[in-house]
Structures are given as structure tokens and as C-alpha cells.
Structure 1
Amino acid sequence: MGHSQKSESNIDHAIAGAASGFITRFLCQPLDVIKIRFQLQVEPISKCHGSKYKSLPQAFLLILREEGIFALWKGHVPAQLLSIVYGMAQFYSYNVFMKTIQDISKIEERNHFIYIHFIAGAGAGSVATIASFPFDTVRTRLVAQSNNHQVYKGVLHSCSSIIRHESPKVFFYGLLPNLLQIAPHTGLQFAFYEFFIDFYKKYTSNTDTSFYNSMFSGSIAGLLAKTIVYPFDLARKRLQIQGFQQGRKGFGKFFQCNGLLDCLKVTVKEEGVQGLFKGLVPSQVKAAITSALHFTAYEQVLLLLKLLR
């Protein structure tokens, strides 16, 4: 990333970002499906309750038994579109922001400060989120609906239904809490990643960003960043299903709220502070794996593009 920006073009960063998004999404989609199911369940996620989902292994096996293996890749097409557009926009704009900040502040490559990576990462995350957000709403609704009460038949059908029966604005429901979450989240992710990349290099005397360095730094960066901003992620998912009661039959009580602050307030009132961190464990596992794969695939594709020149 910051360490080799001068030698690659912006297009290389866009291609590497898109490829990274595709690979990561395909491998991590099952964890994402379980995480969303946890977030949308109002009842506690515990064994001593009459809840549908009680733990990560139980949810995994229950979805397999009730809905089959393909349910773990439910909403995969819009998720892939989301990931490719997001990955491309994120790494492309991160590269542009880094170059711009360096030009303005005249900071030497080797003297980067963490805050510069944070600012560039926050900007890149915001650009990528706005560009890919409609796919995220469609994906959430496809994952949220039960197989027995299907409202949407697929991506195109869900898009046309939302436009016909609701409004195009629906595609951007939950955008504000998402930006509030994504800007610091991506900023922290890039800042932590660069910090651990340098830390790893210092202690292993390896000047290149190796496969292992990317995996190690990416996983820790993802875990730390996700934990810090998690309540906003939960609020976003709950806002995206407002007005979608019919697709949620059989999943327990329906969660209703108006806007971000109300969503956080109602969650704490009904489920306690721990309700804000519902689904955190699969989310942390997913964040560590996803972030490691995301950065590593990106770095490896960049190296490949350099070799192909």
C-alpha cells in the first residue's frame, strides 16, 4: 500500500481492489449470513432462551438443516456486486487520497504518520460505501427473508419491487449510521494495518510486505477496528429491514425503530447494552478473516500485475 504506491498506476489499485473484494466475499459469505441473522434477532442469543439462533455452531447447523447449504450463500450475487464495487472504489480512492495528502503536506514516504493513513482510509471507506450501498440494502433484504416467506425472487426482482412498491430512497436507508461507522472503521483498519506492517518488518528484518505479514497485520487490524465501531453496524442492519415485516415471519419479534439514535436507544432499552454487541463474535471472527484476506489478496494481485507488465 503506502510502501509501493509510486510504482503502480491507479488502475492497478482498482483492479487489485476488485479482485480482493471478490475473493474475500466468496470465502466469507457464510459468516456474514450468520452475523446478519444474529443482528436481526431481538431475542437473546443464548442456550437458555427460546430463541431461534443460540450460538455460532448451532446457527450454522440449523441453517444447513432447515434451508440447505446454499442458504449460507444467500444474497451472494448482490454481495459480490457490493464487494467488487466496494473493493475497487476503496483501494482506488485510498491510493488517490494518499498521493494527494502527500503532495499537500510534502511528507516523505518513509515518514508517514498513522493519522495520514487514518484520514485517507476514512475518505476511501466513505467513497466506497456511497458507491456500493444500494447493493448492501438488497443483499440485507435477501438474507433477512425466510425461505418459507419469500418476498423477493432475486436481485433484479428485489430492485424493481423496491422501486415499484416503496421508493428509490429505500436503497439508501441506513446510509448515515453506515457512514458514521465506515469512515472511522476504514480509517482505523488502514491505520492499524500500516502500523502492524511496519511493526512486523522491524521485528523480522523483512523489508517487503510478505504474504504472512499481510495476513498477520490484516487480521489484527480488522479485529480491532470492527470491535470499536460494532454498535453502528448493528443499527444499520436493523434500519435496513424497517417496513419489511412480511419477509421476517418465523424469525421471532420484529424490531421497529425510527432513525439511528432511536435504534440504539430501543436496542439498549429492550435488550440491554449487550444488545448493541449482538452477533459480535461471528462479526469479530469474520472481520479478522475478511480483513486478512482483503489486504493479502490486494497485495498479491498488485504483485501479479507488476510481474505481468
Structure 2
Amino acid sequence: MSRGNMEGDSSGNQVLPYPVNCDHKMRVTLRRHTTGVVTFGDTGDLCTETDDVDVDLVHQDALKQLLRHGSVLFAGGVAGSVGKTVTAPLSRLTILFQVHSMVSTRHTDRFSPTVSSAFTKVLKNEGILAFWKGNGTSVLHRFPYSAVNFFTFEMIKNGIIAQKHPTFTQHSWTTMFASGAVAGATATVACYPIDLIRTRLATQLNTDIRYTGIRHAVQRISAEEGMVGLYRGMGATLMVTVPNLAINFTLYESLKEYARSLRRSQILPGLTPVEREQAVERHSDMQLSVTDTLLCGGTAGIVSSLVTFPIDVVRRRLQISAIHAENAGIRPTATGIATDLFRTQGVSGFYRGLTPELMKVVPMVGITFGTFERLKKVLTMED
């Protein structure tokens, strides 16, 4: 590394220059003291021309990075759990609609065909707490799932941007789409068994109880279907979560940037060119209001749900197919389930439960994104 022109500081030490193309956030200032020892400051670039290094400062920087990663994981987990719990009643109705013909037998009634009648039936037969049936498992799944999802998205996005490829800029849809897709795949594979158990618990009616809890569900599924049973339907699930989260993150980030530009445009008229430039810089990463966050997140959630909902119906049915298979020797496939669903219910069968899903997705996605951004801001002490 070339030293170039070295500037002095107030203590008489010399500050080694850093490359002009270096990301400001990644700089660590190098100071050559009068003793000839090069140490690290708070900004700048790494230098190999050292007699000694301030190891404590390097450790402090590593600790800050670790704490920031932990904050992102925690904020993501809490955000997902809060969003899921608030919308749990609609989530359960959606799942029951999606699989109602499979959980209906000669001993149980068919599930109600409308949202209002379904709500009334569950409330009458099972009580108000039934709308949160399986929510403990949902949170057990949602916390690590959402944590891994947000963390992976941030890491992949930052990694892509650091490559400085013209196609993958900071706010380009290609960057967001690729990051969201990888995040969705990673979180799904990591947390899938809990998702399957959650689905089976949520689809139980009081007239047909197969699993008494999470532990019993794991034991029974493993005994009857083998360990592979805990991953039944994962392929179909990836077909849902990968495009769903890719679209979700892409639209949310794009709409968020658009909302910020609108807010900035409201404060720019009447300012001088210098004041306008300063205002743009000051509000480049401005915090959106709760309403803006809900609108951005809700819109992204609606679009992603409309695109992936038919596949979601198939994957939910695949997750519980082993319970209701007439012949234990036959393992239903996603293709087989989709074909049978189309034959018996037509195209409308692939959109059964869409109404409660859309009613759920606006508050859930909005709450999740809003909680994540605000909690991350507090934990990482961002300006």
C-alpha cells in the first residue's frame, strides 16, 4: 500500500491515507506514531506496513460486528413472532380452508365455506382460544425462521453490494430479489420440521385429535412415517417461500425507497441548491411512519401471496397427506395432489382460503417489517 502524502494530527502522529474508493463504513484509520508504530483508528483501510497492531481495537470492532449480527437476528425473530401472533386467528382459518376437504371425514363435518361462518363455527365448537391453536408452535417456528430470514437477507444483500457489480446496485430489484430468494431458501430448510408440525396441529379439530402437543407430534410422525416424514412437502414449500420472499423483499424495499423519495420531495421546494443537497443527504435513510411501513409491507405481502397462493395450498395438503392417505403404501406427491385438487374442485380449489389470507397478510407483513426496522434501530443504536 502506498503511503502517499501523510497528514499530521494534533498529537504529532501521521495519518496514513486510505484508498479513495474504499467504503466509508469499512475504513479503519491507520496512524503512524512518532515511535514508528502503526495502529488502528476509527476510520481507514488496513495496512500491511506495520510494526505492531492495536489488537484490542480490532477485538472491539469484531465484538461490535458480533453484537450487530445478534441484534439483527433477535429483531428478526421478535418481529416475526409478533406479526404471527397478532394475525394467528386469520392464519388458522386460512390453513383450515386450504385443507378442509382433507380433514373432513365421515365422522367430522366439512369445514364452513365462508369466513364468517368458519369464524362462528370455530368460536362455538372450540372457544376463543382455538384461534390461537398451534400458535405456540407457530412462534417456535417463526422466531428462528424470521431471524434467519432477515439476517440472511441483510448479509447476502451487503455481500452483493460490496461486489460493486453494475447489475446489483444498492437499491436495484435484482439485488433485493436474489437476496430475498436465498434468505427464503435458507430459512425454510433450517426450520421446516417445525413448520410441518405447526400445520398438523393447526388443522386438528376437537373431533379428531391426533397429536396432543409438539413432543407427541414429533414422536408419532417419526414412528409412523420415519424421520423423512418431518420433511414431507419441503420441496413444495421451497417453491412457495423462495418466490414469495423474493417478491416480498423486492417490493417492500422498492416501495420503501419510493415512499422516502416522496417524503423528501415534500421538504425540498423553496430550498437553495446547497440546502437541497444537504437535506437529501440528511434524509437519505429517513425513518418511515407506521402508516407508510404498513402500506409498503401490506402491498408487498398481497402481491407475493397472490402469486404463490396456489402452490401454498398444494404444499399444505402435502404436509398432512400422510394422515389421510387411504393406502399407507402410497406416498402422495405434489403433482398428484394438484391433479386431484383440480379434478375435484377446479381452479377455485387452488384459491380456497385466499380471503382470510389477504386479510391477514397486510397487518402481518406490515407489523413484521415495522417491528424489525424499529427494533434493529434501537438495538444497533443507528442514527
Q: TM-score, normalised by structure 1?
A: 0.87
1:107, distance to aligned residue in structure 2 (A): 5.8
Within the candidate set 103, 117, 121, 1:62 is matched to 121
Structure 1: 5+ residue stretches without partners:
44-49, 247-255
1:213, distance to aligned residue in structure 2 (A): 2.3
Q: Provide the residue aligned with 2:378 in structure 1.
A: 304
Q: Using a 3 Å threshold, how does the CA distance of structure 1 residues 126 and 70 change in structure 2: closer, same or farther?
A: same
**2 CA distance for matches of 1:304 and 1:62?**
42
Name the amino acid aligned to 1:209: Q
Superposition CA RMSD, Å: 2.4
Within the candidate set 88, 102, 106, 2:147 is matched to 88
| Correspondence 1:99 to 2:167 | no
Q: Secondary structure at the match of 2:211?
A: coil
1:99, distance to aligned residue in structure 2 (A): 1.5
Within the candidate set 269, 272, 288, 2:362 is matched to 288
Q: Secondary structure at the match of 1:62?
A: helix
Within the candidate set 209, 224, 234, 2:287 is matched to 209
Within the candidate set 343, 353, 362, 1:279 is matched to 353
| Correspondence 1:221 to 2:305 | no
Q: Deviations over 1:46-89 (max 9, x none)?
A: xxxx9531211211111010011111111111111110011110
Name the amino acid aligned to 1:17: G
Q: Provide the residue aligned with 1:268 in structure 2.
A: 342
Q: TM-score, normalised by structure 2?
A: 0.71
Aligned-residue sequence identity (percent) comes to 24
Name the structure where helix makes up a greater proportion of residues.
1
Aligned 8 A contact 2:97 2:111 in 1: no
1:235, distance to aligned residue in structure 2 (A): 0.5
**2 CA distance for matches of 1:115 and 1:263?**
33
**1 CA distance for matches of 2:292 and 2:237?**
29
Q: Provide the residue aligned with 2:217 in structure 1.
A: 158
Aligned 8 A contact 2:168 2:175 in 1: no
Name the amino acid aligned to 1:285: M
**2 CA distance for matches of 1:167 and 1:230?**
29
1:141, distance to aligned residue in structure 2 (A): 0.9
1:105, distance to aligned residue in structure 2 (A): 3.5
**2 CA distance for matches of 1:268 and 1:164?**
32
| Correspondence 1:25 to 2:84 | yes
Aligned 8 A contact 2:322 2:332 in 1: no
Name the structure where strand makes up a greater proportion of residues.
2
Aligned 8 A contact 2:342 2:349 in 1: yes
**1 CA distance for matches of 2:306 and 2:331?**
23
Residue-pair matches, total: 290
Q: Deviations over 1:113-149 (max 9, x none)?
A: 1111000001001101111111111111111122122
Higher RCO (C-alpha 8 Å, min separation 6): 1
